[in-house]
């Protein structure tokens, strides 16, 4: 391949001589076709301009339709016309130069100075010159009076309030000397200002304005052709009138008309010009309309290219398919095709596919010709198929497809799945892959693409398969992990009280495909932990603290308090794939932090983790439907003890706050180093209310833990909080305890009225209640004032989510776009598309984060543990 570096790209405008040189033919007649339907000689469809019909040869280059690039023609304009896009440029030139001599309206020394500043280069100093020439009344070079030129947009000029015509303007700007143009920003070797006024007009090749033959044989012309016809007509009339010696007035009218047509030919949306209409009243789509905007060439056709072999519908969760599977609706599968190469090994299978298919199948012969298989020619074609043929068959189970959700922010936004054709009209996906796509099922639509080559299929399978994306390349920990029901279910299964009869245990074993029932571990019964252990790899050894035990500790519980409590508080200990103690909760299974998931993902093949998720799904699904997990208001009712404690704590806090306010006002309050008095005071106040909240929260949690520590565990929101599958202790506190301090921007709400938050407060009351402290909870309901404080905090949260998603989304987009072409090269360096260096070692240490343990390339402690285990 020949590679050449592009040094620079230059945009300029064409002069009349250049237009004539480039032109294949001068267009003179407004007619396009003669009565026999052949292009008119010298007309807009002249065969010199290129070919669009097959079989005809171009009169300019002699090539056929495929190879002829199309050629430009030109129209000689009878009178010059201003190019509407350059009106402003002309106005600037005319206001800085003299009409008589063409020199800049500045004394020689000043021009010299400017030229020196430019150092002989072409520099645009128009702005500077404009400021100085505004007040000049007389040309310093030829003493001619200087007047102001005004532009009546887009193309009419007035000099000293009198109309000045394009011919005059052309003469004027031709006079401007080269040295002066250079400091006005014009490089005269490339561009001359008189070219802003056109004496000849380019006619684009017919390839960009093809005429369409309708079914009834009537030819329909492109909008651009229509516009060019208008220009030629007026040009012809102008010529006739000039030759006939018509009065000046008529000529000027025609001239303006020509100007109008040329203006709208370039831009049919020019301000101050009525848009040219088609016969039907539709505005014409001329050059600028073709390129500009959302529906223009750039955004619609070049950046927005569309692909074949793709499908898009609504997504729906289906936990009974694997995470790297994708349910594709039959309807879509019938439209999507996959090429199958006929080899000696699959010849018979392929023949069967062609025979049995109820949808049209295509065969592609080795020479590239395609043939549709129909009922009539089926037998004949089946006989014909041989090695080297290709068929395009419908999608079937097991085909590899790509699945994508916009916005595609990271590589996990597009992953490969294996297809499963399913009834219905929607895509079905395992809800466990929602986080990487950031998908939910409130009406989200997603796209599916079918790779068409063997290379594509292999790449998709090896690099993009969903189960190989479980560990995020961003932080080296799993992004695909159970959530909500998955965690709750695992928790319900591994609670100390959970045990099953032989019958239920066998049912559960059947769900996960274990054929040999292990020995019961609780007399005649089977514990939930034993069942859970069946889905773990047999050589897994782990020990870590569960989230549940942390909550128990926070609530002030001790292992000595009871046998069940002790079991909850034990560390999770897995020995040879058997859970010996502890409960499985979010500390084992969550996204990013789940130790169990993380270890399986790291130590085993990805298919092991996929199988684990598959089994876990079945177990949790069964257990949750069997036991039921439900929420009731009764869970948030607190005992009288808590109620009295709550009142006591609030009263104490009030008293403390009063003392604090007093010491603050007296000035005896201790100041936090580095803070002002006010800041310190606010901090103390926040601290007091937080302390109060903590106390009550702890007590409530302690009481609520009874739900799970009883002989028979109750599965409700408390179990959810404990396993961290949903909700937090703070949420519980807000419902059953009290809300505490409402906060706006990390502090007590400040803004409101003069020295007070709301008008029902006393002025300058710094106390707790006047500063947004809420003593009630959601269950009891708040007072009007407290509700208002709460809304202040709520509003900030709402604004924050709105603003931060918007801002960070745009920021991320810009960052991602700037980095998207940067690749890590085979030699370990990081390079841009043009092969220049960014980093000498990928990430400075040459380590791919996906292969690390949460960012650390080597976890020394873990490696030591492993070595120790091996030694024993």
Return residues touching another protein (CB under 8 A): 670-671, 827, 829, 831, 835-841, 843-845, 847
Which C-beta is closer to another protein: that of 640 or that of 834?
Answer: 834
Which C-beta is closer to another protein: that of 639 or that of 676?
Answer: 676
Nearest in space to 451 (alpha carbons), one of 388, 397, 403: 403
Alpha-carbon distance of 405 to 12, in angstroms, equals 42
Alpha-carbon distance of 429 to 313, in angstroms, equals 12
Structure token digits, residue 809: 């989304």
Which C-beta is closer to another protein: that of 815 or that of 837?
Answer: 837
Which C-beta is closer to another protein: that of 245 or that of 826?
Answer: 826
* C-beta neighbour count of 72 within 10 angstroms: 18
The minimum distance between CB 677 and another protein, in angstroms, equals 11
The minimum distance between CB 682 and another protein, in angstroms, equals 18
The minimum distance between CB 163 and another protein, in angstroms, equals 54
Which C-beta is closer to another protein: that of 677 or that of 807?
Answer: 677
Nearest in space to 752 (alpha carbons), one of 783, 781, 785, 778: 785
The minimum distance between CB 593 and another protein, in angstroms, equals 21
Structure token digits, residue 684: 């103390």
Tokens 């990271």 belong to: 410
Which C-beta is closer to another protein: that of 575 or that of 815?
Answer: 815
Alpha-carbon distance of 38 to 75, in angstroms, equals 21
β-bridge pairing 325-329 and 414-422: parallel
Which C-beta is closer to another protein: that of 89 or that of 831?
Answer: 831
Alpha-carbon distance of 418 to 403, in angstroms, equals 10
Structure token digits, residue 815: 């960052």
Which C-beta is closer to another protein: that of 43 or that of 476?
Answer: 476
The minimum distance between CB 3 and another protein, in angstroms, equals 15
Alpha helix (H) residue ranges in 453-497: 454-459, 485-494
DSSP state of 302: I
Burial tier of 850 (Cβ tally within 10 Å: 0-12, 13-18, 19+): middle
The minimum distance between CB 662 and another protein, in angstroms, equals 17
Residues near 451 by Cβ (< 8 Å), separated by ≥ 6?
400, 401, 402, 457, 459, 460
Alpha-carbon distance of 58 to 55, in angstroms, equals 10
The minimum distance between CB 863 and another protein, in angstroms, equals 19
Contact (Cβ atoms closer than 8 angstroms) between residue 739 and residue 782: yes
Which C-beta is closer to another protein: that of 504 or that of 853?
Answer: 853
The minimum distance between CB 853 and another protein, in angstroms, equals 14
The minimum distance between CB 866 and another protein, in angstroms, equals 24
Which C-beta is closer to another protein: that of 123 or that of 830?
Answer: 830
Which C-beta is closer to another protein: that of 753 or that of 848?
Answer: 848
Contact (Cβ atoms closer than 8 angstroms) between residue 611 and residue 569: no
The minimum distance between CB 822 and another protein, in angstroms, equals 13
* 342-to-364, 388, 410 alpha-carbon distances in Å: 10, 6, 37
Alpha-carbon distance of 162 to 149, in angstroms, equals 9
Which C-beta is closer to another protein: that of 246 or that of 847?
Answer: 847
Contact (Cβ atoms closer than 8 angstroms) between residue 201 and residue 147: no
The minimum distance between CB 666 and another protein, in angstroms, equals 13
Which C-beta is closer to another protein: that of 408 or that of 841?
Answer: 841
The minimum distance between CB 473 and another protein, in angstroms, equals 14
Strand partners, 97: 104
In the three-class reduction of DSSP (H, G, I as helix; E, B as strand; rest coil), residue 830 is classed as strand
The minimum distance between CB 663 and another protein, in angstroms, equals 12
CA 686 to chain centre: 40
The minimum distance between CB 820 and another protein, in angstroms, equals 19
Contact (Cβ atoms closer than 8 angstroms) between residue 773 and residue 741: yes
In the three-class reduction of DSSP (H, G, I as helix; E, B as strand; rest coil), residue 252 is classed as helix
Which C-beta is closer to another protein: that of 737 or that of 849?
Answer: 849
Which C-beta is closer to another protein: that of 278 or that of 856?
Answer: 856
In the three-class reduction of DSSP (H, G, I as helix; E, B as strand; rest coil), residue 778 is classed as coil
Which C-beta is closer to another protein: that of 28 or that of 831?
Answer: 831
Sign of CA pseudo-dihedral 568, 574, 579, 583: positive
- Residue 221: φ, ψ to 5°: -95, 160
Which C-beta is closer to another protein: that of 794 or that of 843?
Answer: 843
The minimum distance between CB 474 and another protein, in angstroms, equals 14
**DSSP secondary structure of 63-96:** --TTT-----EEEEEEEEEE-GGGHHHHHHHHHH
The minimum distance between CB 183 and another protein, in angstroms, equals 28
3-state secondary structure 386-402: CCCCEEEEECCCCCEEE
Alpha-carbon distance of 150 to 158, in angstroms, equals 5
The minimum distance between CB 836 and another protein, in angstroms, equals 5
Which helix (H) or strand (E) segment holds residue 358: the answer is: none
Which C-beta is closer to another protein: that of 156 or that of 839?
Answer: 839
* C-beta neighbour count of 448 within 10 angstroms: 22
The minimum distance between CB 844 and another protein, in angstroms, equals 4
Each as own residue / partner, the long-range contacts of residues 304-311 (CB below 8 Å, 24 or more positions apart, any chain) are 307/449, 309/336, 309/337, 309/449, 309/450, 309/452, 310/336, 310/447, 310/448, 310/449, 310/450, 311/335, 311/336, 311/427, 311/447, 311/448
CA 868 to chain centre: 47
Alpha-carbon distance of 759 to 754, in angstroms, equals 9
Structure token digits, residue 410: 């990271």
């Amino acid at each position: 391949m020949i590679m050449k570096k592009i040094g620079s790209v230059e945009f300029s405008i064409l002069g009349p001589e250049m237009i004539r040189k480039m032109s294949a033919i001068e267009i003179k007649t407004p007619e396009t076709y003669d009565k026999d339907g052949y292009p008119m000689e010298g007309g807009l469809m002249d065969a010199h301009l290129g070919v669009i019909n097959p079989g005809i040869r171009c009169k300019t280059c002699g090539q056929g339709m495929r190879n002829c690039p199309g050629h430009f023609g030109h129209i000689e304009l009878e009178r010059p016309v201003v190019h509407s896009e350059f009106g402003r440029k002309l106005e600037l030139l005319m206001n800085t130069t003299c009409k008589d001599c063409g020199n800049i309206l500045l004394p020689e020394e000043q021009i010299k100075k400017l030229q020196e500043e430019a150092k002989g280069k072409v520099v645009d100093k128009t702005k500077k010159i404009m400021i100085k020439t505004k007040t000049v009344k007389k040309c310093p070079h030829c003493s001619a009076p200087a007047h102001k030129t005004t532009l009546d947009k887009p193309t009419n000029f007035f000099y000293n309030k009198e109309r000045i015509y394009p011919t005059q303007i052309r003469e004027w700007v031709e006079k401007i000397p080269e040295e002066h143009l250079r400091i006005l920003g014009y490089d005269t070797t490339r561009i001359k200002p008189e070219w802003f006024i056109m004496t000849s007009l380019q006619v684009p090749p017919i390839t960009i304005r093809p005429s369409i033959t309708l079914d009834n044989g009537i030819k329909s012309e492109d909008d651009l052709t229509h516009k060019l016809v208008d220009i030629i007509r007026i040009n012809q009339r102008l010529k006739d009138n000039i030759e006939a010696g018509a009065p000046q007035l008529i000529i000027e009218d025609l001239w303006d008309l020509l100007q109008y047509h040329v203006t709208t030919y370039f831009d049919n949306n020019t301000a101050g010009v009525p848009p040219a209409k088609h016969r039907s009243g539709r505005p014409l789509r001329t050059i600028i309309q073709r390129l500009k905007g959302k529906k223009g060439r750039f955004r619609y056709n070049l950046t927005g290219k569309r692909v074949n072999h793709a499908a898009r519908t609504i997504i729906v969760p289906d936990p009974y398919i694997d995470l790297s599977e994708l349910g594709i609706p039959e309807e879509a599968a019938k439209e999507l095709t996959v090429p199958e190469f006929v080899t000696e090994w699959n010849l018979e299978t392929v023949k069967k596919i062609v025979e049995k298919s109820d949808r049209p199948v295509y065969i592609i012969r080795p020479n590239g010709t395609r043939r549709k298989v129909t009922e009539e020619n089926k037998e004949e074609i089946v006989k014909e198929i041989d090695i080297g043929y290709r068929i395009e068959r419908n999608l079937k189970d097991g085909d590899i497809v790509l699945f994508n959700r916009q916005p595609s922010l990271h590589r996990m936004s597009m992953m490969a799945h294996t297809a499963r054709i399913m009834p219905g009209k929607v895509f079905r996906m395992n809800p466990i892959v929602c986080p990487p796509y950031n998908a939910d099922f409130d009406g989200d639509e997603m796209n599916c693409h079918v790779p068409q080559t063997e290379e594509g299929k292999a790449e998709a399978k090896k690099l993009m398969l969903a189960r190989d994306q479980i560990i995020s390349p961003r932080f080296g920990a799993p992004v695909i992990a159970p959530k909500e029901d998955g965690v709750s279910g695992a928790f319900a299964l591994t609670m100390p009280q959970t045990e099953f009869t032989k019958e239920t245990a066998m049912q559960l074993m059947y769900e996960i495909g274990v054929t040999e029932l292990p020995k019961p571990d609780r007399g005649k019964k089977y514990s939930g932990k034993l069942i859970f252990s069946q889905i773990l790899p047999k050589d897994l050894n782990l020990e870590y603290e569960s989230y549940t035990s942390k909550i128990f500790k926070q609530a002030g519980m001790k292992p000595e308090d009871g046998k069940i409590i002790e079991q909850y508080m034990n560390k999770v200990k897995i020995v040879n794939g058997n859970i010996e103690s502890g409960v499985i909760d979010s500390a084992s299974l969550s996204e990013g932090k789940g130790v169990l998931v993380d270890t399986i993902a790291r130590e085993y093949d990805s298919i092991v983790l996929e199988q684990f998720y598959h089994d876990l799904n079945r177990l949790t699904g069964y257990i949750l439907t069997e036991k039921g997990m439900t929420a009731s208001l009764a869970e948030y009712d607190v005992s009288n003890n808590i109620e009295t404690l709550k009142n006591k704590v609030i009263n104490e806090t009030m008293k403390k706050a009063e003392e604090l306010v007093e010491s603050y006002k007296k000035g005896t309050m201790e100041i936090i180093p580095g803070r002002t008095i006010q800041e310190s005071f606010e901090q103390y106040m926040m601290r007091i209310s937080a302390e109060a909240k903590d106390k009550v929260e702890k007590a409530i949690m302690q009481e609520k833990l009874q739900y799970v520590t009883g002989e028979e565990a109750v599965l409700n929101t408390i179990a959810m909080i404990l396993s961290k599958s949903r909700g937090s202790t703070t949420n519980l506190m807000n419902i059953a305890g009290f809300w505490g301090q409402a906060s706006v921007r990390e502090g007590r709400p400040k803004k409101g009225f003069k020295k007070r938050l709301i008008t029902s407060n006393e002025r300058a009351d710094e106390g707790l209640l006047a500063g947004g402290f809420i003593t009630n909870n959601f269950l009891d309901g708040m007072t009007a004032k407290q509700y208002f404080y709460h809304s202040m905090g709520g509003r900030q949260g709402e604004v924050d989510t709105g603003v931060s998603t918007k801002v960070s989304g745009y920021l991320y987009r810009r960052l991602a776009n700037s980095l998207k072409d940067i690749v890590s090269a085979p030699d370990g360096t990081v390079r841009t598309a043009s092969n220049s260096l960014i980093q000498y070692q990928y990430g400075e240490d040459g380590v791919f984060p996906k292969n690390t343990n949460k960012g650390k390339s080597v976890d020394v402690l873990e490696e030591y543990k492993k070595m120790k285990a091996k030694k024993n």
